[in-house]
Amino acid sequence: MDITTERAAAHRLRVEMVALPLASGGSPTRELAALDAATGGRLLREIRKRSADPAKRGAVSIYQTHGFLPAELIAVLGVGTASPAMGPDDWRRFAGQAVATAQGARVRSLAIEVGGTRSDGAVAAGAAVEGALLASYRFAGFRKAPSSPALARCVISGAPGSRAAAAAERRARIVAESTCLARDLINTPAELMTPAHLGQAAVRMARRHGLRVRVYGPRDLRRLGMGAILAVGRASRNEPRLIEIVHRPPRARGRHVVLVGKGITFDSGGLSLKPPQAMEIQKRDMSGGAAVLGAMAAIGRLRLPIEVRGYVASAENMPGGDAYRPGDVVRTCIGKTVEVLNTDAEGRLVLADALAHATRGRTEASRPRWVVDLATLTGAVTTALGRSVAGVMGNDADLVRSVIECGRASGEPIWELPLVEDYVPLMESPIADLKNTGDGTAGTIFGGLFLREFVHRLPWAHLDIAAVAFTDKPQPYVPRGAVGWGVRTMVALVEKAAAG
């Protein structure tokens, strides 16, 4: 879908549908009032006749203009907010709903009106571009005759012509396209998206955007002593990889920062085998790694003035004659040993090697300012927080607060869970430094406590995105399937680090 911005108001554009927001408890926007006047007062009268609460979030009212305007249809969409100004996520949701409404009506051109409100015009235009692009995403898939959506052209109308608006629109495009890159990686079947293919995708992306990249194969992993990644991946014919991507601008500000992602391209559970129904969706277990690759693509394109290093620990966790077993002890790259009690708790093992490798440094200057990891780590986080909120834990209050704030601004809600010190003794092993599970309770917290052991006491935050990485039900700007969750939050977090 082609998306452009125009300063002209929506009712002046030759499109098939015009979409406008309607907020609760407020008067119609200037543009909606103009449209109502152009229809002789019929528009709002008709909308209020059809619905008791047309401003309720998610409400859709469609009006045929009968030749009064260039557009054939007007869609008035309830945004639900009673505040004087819509925030960025209100605009994303509105634009996403507008795209879905236009696709449902099978129109080919749409104008999304962002002018005439009390919102910051640049913010509104950027968020609307982002929401429309994210909502229009479709995975190409493997159908013999893929269906193409009717909507071909979208105009963000009423956008200011300022430099701030142009910058916001450019950033929105980059971030949305990078999120869709992550979605593509996650949605690709595991038979195609192996660790080697994920590494190749990273190389193509990095070269396209001027990033440095290195993919460590099995021989490199053995040389580095990464026994945890090697153990998880050794039963699969698709051997593991560690992907390293570096954004190093000419004039980087301060010490570098690190993003780490779990990249299990398929998780059968290993010898601790998952039930069949749980296995159907395990291609998504590399969502954290895909988010890191998407974020690095955006960071490179935005040319942020800070060095950023991204790592993806990738393996297939399979059963087989060479599989690692419950009761085995694996040695990580820093020499710390782990007794494996459950081979389905493999994400923390591959992340242990990646985190330890990413945060090592001989001097203070060579170590990162902070490190954040993303992983579909535990099903327990869904029990704790449901399917709309990710969990975060960390050893640095300022970093955790920044992650939560950036998630809120990006439309990716995050809630902090505690690292309970009383639980640490429950990870002690009689034969190794640690065991990879706790006592069967508080699984998400045990995962965080385990990972904390491998960050060399640097400022660190862990995001458990198992509940939010994939959706079976379409959301305002998220079609069914991979969400690409975390790309936008990580970009915002790195931007904050670059600014400060």
What positions carry a catalytic annotation?
Answer: 274, 348
Half-sphere exposure for 463 (CA within 13 Å, toward CB): 35
CA distances to 187, 197, 208, 307, 308 from 498, in Å: 31, 31, 22, 9, 10
Structure tokens, 422? 């009383």
Structure tokens, 441? 């309770």
DSSP 364: G
CA dihedral 86, 88, 89, 91 (to 10 degrees): 60
By three-state DSSP, how is residue 222 classified? helix
Please tell me the distance from the alpha carbon of residue 419 to that of residue 439, in angstroms, as a whole number. Answer: 15
CA distances to 156, 173, 256, 335, 395 from 363, in Å: 50, 38, 13, 20, 21
Q: How open is the CA angle 26-27-32, to the nearest 5 degrees?
A: 125
Strands (E), 89-240: 109-113, 153-157, 212-216
**Contacting residues for 390 by C-beta, under 8 A, at least 6 apart:** 381, 407, 412, 413, 414, 415, 463, 464, 465, 467, 468, 485, 486
Please tell me the distance from the alpha carbon of residue 350 to that of residue 227, in angstroms, as a whole number. Answer: 9
CA distances to 213, 260, 402 from 308, in Å: 12, 11, 17
DSSP 37: H
474-499 burial code (b ≥16 CB/10 A, e <16): ebbbbbebbbbbbbbbbbbbbbebbe
**Contact call for residues 326 and 346 (beta carbons, < 8 A):** no
